[in-house]
Amino acid sequence: MKYFCGVDTGGTFTDCAVIDETGKITIAKRPSTPEDYSAGLFDALEACSARIGISLEKLLENTEHLFLGTTVGTNALVQMKGAKKRLKTTNGHKDSLAIMRSAGRSAGLPVEKLLHVSRHQKPPPLIPRQLIHEVSERMDWKGAVYLELNESEAEQAIRSLVEQDIEALGICLLWSIVNPEHEKRLKAMVRKFAPGIFVSCSHELIAKRGEYERAVGTAINCFIGPTMKEYVEKIEQRASSHGYTRPLLMLQVTGGVVPSREVIQTPLYTIGSGPAAGVTGSCFLSNAMGYTNTIVTDMGGTSFEAGIIYNGNPLTASETIINQYVFSMPRLDVESIGSGGGSIVWVDEISGTLRVGPESAGADPGPACYGKGNRPTITDANLILGYLNPDNFLGGKMRLDRDKSIKAMSPLADKLGMEVDELAAGAVRIAETKMAELIRQMTLQRGLDPREFVIFAYGGAGPTHACEYTRELGISRIVIPLGTISSAWSAFGTLCADILHVYEKSDFLAQPFDLEHINQTFAELESTGRKQLEEDGVDPERMVFQRFVEVKYRMQIHQLPVPLPEGKLNEDDLVHLVQRFEDIYESFYGKGSAYREAGVEIGLFKVNAIGEMVKPSIPEQAPIKEEPRPSQRKIYWRERGEAVDTPVYAGPDLGPGHVVPGPAVVEFPETTIVIQPFAKAVVDGSGNFIIDLDAEES
């Protein structure tokens, strides 16, 4: 039997999904292991192999591909635990990281902090000024050499750095995106004098203009590079010892996978890769189900993420903010807030109001009900309300202590003069409102009406809260994808990914466009992509190339991506390009906002080089003849203001065609679906739970 294994290492849990050659899907969740994330990865793989009924060695020996999404780089950056690093830049530009942009003090801050301008501060520097070295060289904006690289000066600086026992070195020179020759020469010198140092060049990471953004991206790549290298090599060695001989395929924030050898050089692109996997899996399933507009929502133990699939394709972004640092990176547009199951519930001492997150209890100590921690979380609130079964968490692998949840929540309830269950319901309401607000920002600010979408809700906690944040948005339908598989959806999503390499070239063209130059640029980018896919072992018939240009009006700053057809372009294609840009522009900024008379400019060329992988088949479930017999449990429903006896169904007992009116709870080993009184669920032929919110309250 052949297997395909996908693993997603999250902040609280590590999820695994295994598909065999018959299409059967097996999942497992195990706590993440922050002291060594590779340990949790193999714990999850071993849990899956046990459910299949084989050893871990047998599973990996017969695994065709092992896919991995990881938060190791993200966690290292958030916790500021990375390599000893230095940066080399053009003479006169060593202060770009410290100066930042004008919005540097407020970039990425939550609303409550934005309101207090006097408290805004710049983040701690990724690389202190004294650790940034300048070199004498200069390119102009067209790529012409204005000042030759002073190699003797550079060699002396490199030898000095080696003596300081550094682990990583970033190279970010002015206008290297147009002509990278000087960066390449510096890198060769580092390889010669210090072959063991991790080296990162800005032109290899980021092709877009923006000196500061490129410097940040290069610094981050150096910061997490040695950590990621150690992590990947540890997984490869252990997987090999268990019989897995193929390359490890790692998911990137673009939504595609690349061989691990590339990730070791560009770990920057793994930041946010776990949530991107969920979008990839959702795009695969939603298109198969006939939904072209989908809002994907992932609620795990640490955070809540949302992404948008519009007209069948995930929306993308080109900028990322972490720790207030802004850097350029092509990615699927997935936004995150600290509103997961482990988000801590607290009372603001100044305002006396109830708050939720963004601080999380994480995997260790975890929510109070796990037995180690003593601070109340959303998971504790769900347990108090009766949504969760304390004896069936993770299929009974963990027992939750409701008394400890009540003990942790009671001081907050006393402080606010509320009953414990009222306070728990209020905390859940706050978290769900924050989720709805994030989705509003991602849709309405783009000119998209959320009511024209369906919600995909997944992650361990997503199905528990989906009804409320969906109703607040005016959306009428929720899909819990493949039932219990939804709890490990990002792990499943890695199995839906293709090999994807993104190539960008910063350029400047003003209308009327040079057609020959455009065709030549795309030909060069596609040639590079084709060679890379050949190295990856992709057959020519499985290679696909997607083209984009980023376009703006003259004198504007922000560019919008516009797709272009394959093959040699003609003048008609350029006419359609401008028209398509204006359609996209007006979808963002309103009808009539396009202004062609200002002049149209191209600032970036982009090619997605795709190696199509074998996709999983969507399972078909056999009908279950016996009518399910629910048990009963007291559950507190906020709209009713009290706990009432509520039907509780075992998820595996429900098959195609079964209808579950709300209020009700459906329990799976890895997740719990809460069907509010105003909702009704039905199971389709693939095991998806379709929840409609226009049902009359029973």
Q: Tens digit of pLDDT for each residue in 120-141?
A: 777 777 788 888 888 899 998 8
Query: pLDDT: is 640 or 515 the higher one?
Result: 515
Q: Which of 1-15, 238-252, 534-548 has the lowest mean pLDDT?
A: 1-15
Phi, psi (deg, nearest 5) at residue 488: -120, 40
Residues 202 and 149 in one domain: yes
Give a yes or no: residue 480 inside a domain: no
**How much is the pLDDT for 99?**
77
What is the arithmetic mean of pLDDT over 371-398? 86
- Its domain, for residue 596, covers 499-611
Question: Taking 70 as the threshold, does the pLDDT of residue 117 lie above it?
Answer: no
Positive or negative, the CA dihedral 54, 56, 60, 61 is negative
Q: What angle do CA 436, 439, 444 make, to 5 degrees?
A: 115
Same domain membership, residue 218 and residue 116: yes
Mean pLDDT of the chain: 88
Residue 687 CA to residue 652 CA, distance in Å, equals 10
For residues 148 and 135, membership in a common domain is answered with yes
23: in domain: yes
One domain, residues 193 and 238: no
Residue bearing tokens 């018939």: 541
Residue 567: count other Cβ atoms within 10 Å of its Cβ.
10
Q: What one-letter code names the amino acid at 680?
A: K
Could you check whether the bond before residue 561 is cis, i.e. omega within 30 degrees of 0? no
Decide if 318 is inside a domain: no
The pLDDT value given to residue 542: 95
For range 349-376, the mean pLDDT = 84
pLDDT at 57 exceeding the cut of 50: yes
CATH number where 247 lies: 3.30.420.40
pLDDT reading at 625 higher than 90: no
What one-letter code names the amino acid at 497?
A: A
Q: Please indicate, yes or no, if residue 125 is contained in any of the structural domains.
A: yes
pLDDT of residue 696: 46
Residue 617 lies in a domain: no
Higher pLDDT, 494 or 363: 494
Sequence-distant (≥ 6) Cβ neighbours of residue 396 within 8 angstroms: 669
Those residues whose C-beta lies under 8 Å from the C-beta of residue 422, and which sit 6 or more positions away, are: 413
End of a domain among 269, 296, 325? 269
**163: Cβ–Cβ under 8 A, 6 or more apart, which residues?**
none
* Residue at a domain's end among 611, 646, 679: 611
Interval 390-431: pLDDT, tens: 887 776 777 889 999 999 999 999 999 999 999 999 999 999
Quick one: 258 and 142 in the same domain? no
Give per-residue pLDDT as tens, 432-444: 999 999 999 999 8
684: helix, strand or coil? coil
Interatomic CA distance for residues 514 and 160, integer angstroms: 47
Burial call 612-635: b when 16+ CB within 10 Å, e when fewer: ebeebebbebeeeeeebebeebeb
Q: Is 95 in the same domain as 22?
A: no
**What does the pLDDT read at residue 695?**
47
Task: Round to whole Å and give the CA distance between 277 and 264.
Answer: 19
Whether residues 95 and 39 fall in one domain? no
Average pLDDT over residues 87-113: 73
CATH of the domain at 513: 3.30.1490
pLDDT score of 465 more than 50:
yes
Lowest mean pLDDT of 25-34, 162-171, 299-308, 311-320, name the range. 162-171
Q: Which residue has the higher pLDDT, 238 or 196?
A: 238
The terminus-to-terminus CA distance of the chain in angstroms comes to 48
Residue 277 scores a pLDDT above 60: yes
What pLDDT was estimated at residue 470?
A: 95
Q: Is residue 327 part of a domain?
A: no
Q: In this structure, are residues 227 and 82 in contact, taking their beta carbons and an 8 Å threshold?
A: yes
Picking from 244, 269, 294, the residue at the C-terminal end of a domain is: 269
- Same domain for 223 and 88: yes
Q: Please write the tens of the pLDDT for every residue from 308-355.
A: 999 999 998 888 777 777 888 888 999 888 788 888 999 988 888 999
Tokens 């005016």 identify what position? 474
509 and 589 assigned to the same domain: yes
Q: Do 200 and 218 touch, CB atoms closer than 8 A?
A: yes
> Has residue 642 been placed in a domain?
yes
Please state the rounded mean pLDDT for residues 32-58. Answer: 91
Q: Element (H or E) spanning 265, and its range?
A: helix 260-265
Q: Using omega within 30 degrees of 0 as the cis cutoff, is the peptide bond preceding 247 cis?
A: no
Q: Is 470 within 8 Å of 478 (Cβ atoms)?
A: yes
Residues 6+ apart with CB under 8 A from 475: 295, 450, 451, 453, 454, 455, 693
Indicate the SS3 state at residue 98.
Answer: helix
Q: How many domains does the chain have?
A: 4
Q: Are residues 665 and 561 in the same domain?
A: no
Q: Is 278 among the domain residues?
A: no
Question: Which of 231-235, 301-305, 338-342, 364-368 shows the highest mean pLDDT?
Answer: 231-235
Residue 697 has pLDDT above 60, yes or no: no
* pLDDT category of residue 698 using cuts at 50, 70 and 90: very low
Complete DSSP assignment for 626-651 = SPP--EEEEEEETTTTEEEEEEEEEG
pLDDT digits (tens, 9 = 90+) for 510-529: 999 999 999 999 999 999 99
Question: Domain check: are 666 and 595 in the same one?
Answer: no
Share of the chain above pLDDT 90, in %: 51
Asked if 663 and 635 touch (Cβ cutoff 8 Å), the reply is yes
Could you tell me if 58 and 104 lie in one domain? no
Given this model, what pLDDT does residue 618 score?
87
